[in-house]
Structure 1
Amino acid sequence: MTQNDIKTWAECAPRLVAVAAGRDAADLVIRNGKWVNVHTREVLEGHDLAIADGRFAYCGPDASHCIGDKTEIIDADGQYMIPGLCDAHMHIESGMLTPAEFARAVAPHGTTSMFTDPHEIANVLGLEGVRLMHDEAMLQPVNIFTQMPSCAPSAPGLETTGFEITPEDVAEAMTWPGIIGLGEMMNFPGVVNGDPKMLAEIAATQRAGKTVGGHYASPDLGPAFHAYAAGGPADDHEGTCEADAIARTRQGMRHMMRLGSAWYDVESQITAVTEKGLDPRNFILCTDDCHSGTLVNDGHMNRVVRHAIECGCDPLIALQMATINTATHFGLERELGSIAPGRRADVILTSDLKTLPIHRVIARGHTVAFDGVMLATCPHLEWPDHARDTVHMGRALEDIDFRIKAPEGANSVTANVIGMVENQAPTRALEAKLAVKDGIVPVDPENDICQIALVERHQGTGGVVNAFVSGFGYTGKMAMASTVAHDSHHMIVVGTSHADMALAANRLQEVGGGVTVWKDGEEQALVELPIAGLMSDSPATEVAAKAEAMGKAMEACGCTLNNAYMQHSLLALVVIPELRISDLGLVDVRTFELTPLFKKENNNDS
């Protein structure tokens, strides 16, 4: 059963009423379970659930009157019956997987509903890419709702993307069946300054009666933040501290706390609920970005809920934050997010509410996974050939393309350096004094400074922008390149060797996109991502194995950052402070202006 053919409540209502009254038999009855009711925040022991046409018909102490000769019966044997988990904000592309393979990876972990923003593919393939993601999502046995991307480019004037999204595109997408709202409004300066294009996209979404996603990636909680709140975003996930969480909920936003592969923002914010006592129904859990290794080895939304509980959150409140709160936020409280009559029959059987082992996953009334094994089929879309041909550098690169020339006559320079922050999306704007050798500024691995380059890959211009980055810890001669480069998705190359940087970049052009690690002139790891240079349609286990090899190769090059690949992929995200790189140069996101690589006052140091 797909989202296209699942019956609406109106279509099911006569039968649901008849089953609940005992005049008709249910398709499935789950007996003898502990009903976790997220509406009342209580656990009701010894209860049954009767399901018909993919929806709950009866939820109560005894469903024997709903059982007929052909009714399937599952004995919960005292296990907890909890609603299927919802991920309120995520990007499927970050898993390096297509929607079908992503669904196959996360359903065994109990995720039955996802609210996805495919703005990664929008930057590469435009509205067509969004439609392809939407259409494959609609085929899946779990619920995948699509948010129409709002910002491609994310920061107009500071980057060049493969395609641009217009207010007309947004208005068109709002008519598609699986579109649930507008994706995160990353151009927060545009909203703050009343940009007509951004406000038109928000207005088109609100006219369609759908939800506007937020993205306020600034620590400034003064007038700019209040202006952003007035601009219409209904939620935000970019907070990193308790003050952020409190400020957003006070302004009427739902505050989303994320635990992804590299974002650990729950612990620092959940105290707004556990200690300050704010109403938890205005807080939501999400992942934002999870790569395939995390999905296969650690989990998905079950991992986030467990973490919230470990941070001191009451298990029932944590479950509300991952179920009913999300459904209510997107206007789907009558459709999903709880175990109650009329809702889609998405339910998990688990033996413990704190550690949350996922024993059985039922989606729309059918068992889709059992003890970690996916049982349901996840249909693939036929992706067009041009979606697999998106890496256009225009030419083969050479080591000379990565040499950074010093200002004329300089013996040393003071450079602006991108500083990594482990487990967080923001970077730091650092400065470093670097030597000059034969007119070239080399890297300084001893002080943890290596080179970063952004290679244009959409229009085949052959353009390369070079700068410096600190925090990876790379040593020796190495390079790592990726065509996953949020959000413009050009190619990011980080390394200590110009020759290896050229080899890595050329390799990705050869294979049509992905991630590669080189050391001493030899390839150490490769993850092929042929669809838009962002995703693979191979099984998650295969992609995760290659991603694990990539991580080990990075470690062999000296990197010790947690989930460093995710940090690497965000170095071009020019809407999150403080310093980023784009195809137009180095970007100071504190001021949303291009900034020079070298400080002028130090150009003639001797």
Structure 2
Amino acid sequence: MKATPFKTWAEAAPELVAVAAGRAPADLVIRGGKLVNVHSREVLDGWQVAVKAGRFAYVGPDASHCIGDGTEVVEAGGDYLIPGLCDGHMHIESGMLTPAEFARAVTPHGTTTMFTDPHEIANVMGLEGVRLMHDEALLQPVNIYTQMPSCAPSAPGLETTGYEIGPEEVAEAMTWPGIIGLGEMMNYPGVVAGDPKMLAEIAATQEAGKTVGGHYASPDLGPDFAAYVAGGPADDHEGTQEADAMMRVRQGMRAMLRLGSAWYDVKAQITAVTEKGLDPRNFILCTDDCHSGTLVNEGHMNRVVRHAIECGCEPLIALQMATVNTATHFGLERELGSIAPGRRADVILTPDLRTLPIHRVYARGVLVAEDGVAKVEFPHGDWPAKARASVNMGADKTAADFVVAAPAGANRVKAKVIGVVENQAPTKALTAELEVADGAVEGDPAQDVCQIALVERHRATGQVTNGFVSGFGYQGEMAIASTVAHDSHHMIVVGTSREMMAKAANRLAEIGGGVTVWKDGAEIALVELPVAGLMSDDLAQNVAAKAQAMVEAMAACGCTLNNAYMQHSLLALVVIPELRISDMGLVDVTKFEVTDVFEATT
């Protein structure tokens, strides 16, 4: 079935008043449950709700006066009624799905509102790509608000993107109906330094009365952090320890605590509330990045709330962090995030507040999912042919393109190595002594060092940047390539065999983007992502099955990391310390400068 066309609050107000007063019948009444009130932080046993025109009209102990001919009456059977869950910061592209299929995947898990930053597609297709994401988002039966990407490139001068975003594009986007604010301001050195372009983007957002998203990926909480906050960002999800969360809140920001497929940052920060006693209304739960396998097999925001509770947070406080806190932060407290009159009738029925099994999900008063199954349509937008022809790397690659040339006369080198950190976005700046053979520096599986390459894929320049990475544990002859490479989204290839690295790169050029894993000369896993080389418009279950096969293929190559693909996809993210790779070379993110691959030679 299709979702009911949704009226604004102003349009619906006369009907809401009439239903609440008993003069007109509700469309829907839910009774026989226990209502979770996130405003008062209490459970109200027996309270009932009446819905009209997609909004709550009456919330109270007895809605019988709202029942008339045509009213659908739902018996909750003792279930808790909780507000639909909100994700305060996320990237749809990380799910490997288009907005419609992402919404179809997460709605049965109780997520009814998402605040999304499509900066992945902005790097590939510019403002046109953002508009395509925005327009498809508005078609959905749940609430998807779009944050206009702020940083494409994320670090000017350190990477080259397919397109760039500037103050003019930001100002234009602020006039679109689904734009809720500015996406995460990743160029924190630019804000600290008073960069006019970054400050102009923030100003355009604030002048539109909208929220500026933050991204301060530095452990330094001194003057630089103070300068960043003074620049205007209102929240931050990059904290990894208790002190980060506390300082953000003390500076008037909202601390966003994330649990994605590979980012486990809730446990280390939730103690700011559970042990230090800070006001929980300034804390928000989010996912940031979840791939399709996590969405299908583990959940979405229900997974995050469950995890926060397991980490010691009281269930009602955890629910506030995933509902009303988020809505309030984006200026939508009167629109969503709670079960209260006038708000969108987004409500979940669950028998347990700690484990959150999701029985039914209503969005705007319509049953959109029941027992894990979506019940409404999730319409697709019109993706142009241009969006499906985004991998332009020039001529096919050969093994020679992946040679790391040694300095003249060197027999051994001391190389700088990107060190992957399990379950976290930051990397470590490592070094390794590596052998030279026939003028080429070799990786060393015994030291867990293999090659990494960034293949330019936007302008067909043919450029390949080579380096070394450690932490995946790969053994034998293998390679993995991906056109998902935050944030520039060139192609990242990691491997122990230059021949297979070339085969993997060529395979992605052939299919228009995705992820491919090769072992012993053959492809053993493939995830096709034809939309901008980032997303599939196939069903989430199908994409998740291929993603799971990819994870198993990585394990077959020796990898033991949890969700190692997420680490792979962030190896080019030149705004998170310590070492990254870009089309301009190896980047030292602690200094925001390109650095040599070699420290010394012998």
TM-score range, shorter chain: over 0.9
Scaled by the length of structure 1, the TM-score of the pair is 0.99
- Maintained 8 Å contact 1:4/1:138: no
Superposed displacement of residue 345, structure 1: 0.1
Q: Distance in 1 between matches of 2:394 and 2:503?
A: 15
Q: Aligned ranges for residues 72-91 of structure 1 at < 5 Å? A: 72-91=72-91
Map residues 419-434 of structure 1 onto 2, 5 A cutoff. Answer: 419-434=419-434
In the aligned structure 2, how far is the partner of 1:594 from the partner of 1:554?
30
> Residue 472 of structure 2 aligns to a residue in which SS?
coil
> Cα deviations across residues 399-438 of structure 1 (Å, max 9, x unaligned)?
0110111100111100000000000000000011111112
Q: Matches of residues 48-127 of structure 1 in structure 2 within 5 Å?
A: 48-127=48-127
1:302 and 1:118 map into 2 onto residues whose CA distance is: 22
* Counterpart residue number, 1:451: 451
Query: Helix, strand or coil: the match of 2:358?
Result: coil
Residue aligning to 1:375:
375
Aligned to 1:206: 206
**Kept in 1: contact 2:3–2:376 (CA 8 A):** no
Match in the other structure for 1:22: 22
The SS at the match of 1:501 is: helix
User: 1:169, CA displacement in angstroms?
Assistant: 0.3
Count of equivalent residues? 602
- Is residue 180–residue 330 contact of structure 2 (8 Å, CA) maintained in 1? yes
User: Contact conserved, 1:483 with 1:489, CA < 8 A, in 2?
Assistant: yes
Q: TM-score, normalised by structure 2?
A: 0.99
Local SS of the residue matching 1:313: coil
State the identity %. 78
One-letter identity of the residue aligned with 2:563: N
Query: Alpha-carbon deviations, 1:174-193, whole Å to 9, x = none?
Result: 00000000000000000000
Paired letter, 1:346: D
Residue of structure 1 in register with 2:197 after alignment? 197
**1:174 touches 1:208 (CA, 8 Å); kept in 2?**
yes
User: Which residue in the other structure is 1:249 paired with?
Assistant: 249
Structure 1: runs of 5+ lacking an equivalent? none
Distance 1:312 1:153, change over 3 A: same
User: SS state of the match for residue 581, structure 1?
Assistant: strand
* Alignment match, 2:284: 284
What amino acid is the match of 2:319?
A: L
Distance 2:89 2:570 in 1: 17
Q: Residue type of the partner of 1:438? A: D
One-letter amino acid matched to 1:423 = N
Residue 183 of structure 2 corresponds to 183
The residue aligned with 1:491 is: 491
Following superposition of structure 1 onto structure 2, how do residues 491-530 of structure 1 map, counting pairs within 5 Å? Answer: 491-530=491-530
Task: Name which of structure 1's ranges 170-179 and 1-10 shifts more when overlaid on structure 2.
Answer: 1-10
Give the 3-state SS of the residue equivalent to 1:580 in structure 2: strand
- Please tell me whether residue 31 in structure 1 is matched to residue 31 in structure 2: yes
Q: Return the offset for 1:440.
A: 0.9
Equivalents in 1 of 2:498, 2:394: separation in Å?
A: 19
**Alignment-mate amino acid for residue 245 of structure 2:** A
Residue 4 of structure 1: how far off its partner (Å): 11
C-alpha displacement of 1:355: 0.5
Letter in 1 for 2:166: T
Q: Contact 1:3 / 1:143 at 8 angstroms: preserved in 2?
A: no
- Asked whether the equivalents of residues 28 and 72 of structure 1 are also in contact (C-alpha less than 8 Å), the reply is yes
Q: In the aligned structure 2, how far is the partner of 1:41 from the partner of 1:439?
A: 67
Alpha-carbon distance in 1 for matches of 2:494, 2:2: 42
1:436 aligned counterpart, secondary structure: strand
Query: What stretches of structure 1 move > 4 A for 4+ residues in a row?
Result: 1-5
Q: Which runs of 5+ in 2 are unaligned?
A: none
Preserved CA contact (<8 Å) 1:350 1:359: yes
Q: Given that residues 423 and 562 in structure 2 are in contact (C-alpha distance below 8 angstroms), is that contact kept between their aligned partners in structure 1?
A: yes
Deviations 1:39-86 (A, max 9, x none): 000000011100000000000011000001100010011110000000
**Preserved contact between residue 308 and residue 318 of structure 1 (Cα < 8 Å):** yes
Mapped contact 1:418–1:468 kept (Cα < 8 A): yes
State the partner residue of 1:569.
Answer: 569
Specify the alignment match of 1:551 in structure 2. Answer: 551
Q: What amino acid sits opposite 1:355 in the alignment?
A: T
Cα distance, 1:287 vs structure 2: 0.1
8 Å contact kept, 2:406–2:441 = yes
For residue 3 of structure 1, report the CA deviation from its aligned partner. Answer: 10
Contact 2:3 2:366 in 1 (8 A): no
Aligned alpha-carbon RMSD (Å): 0.9
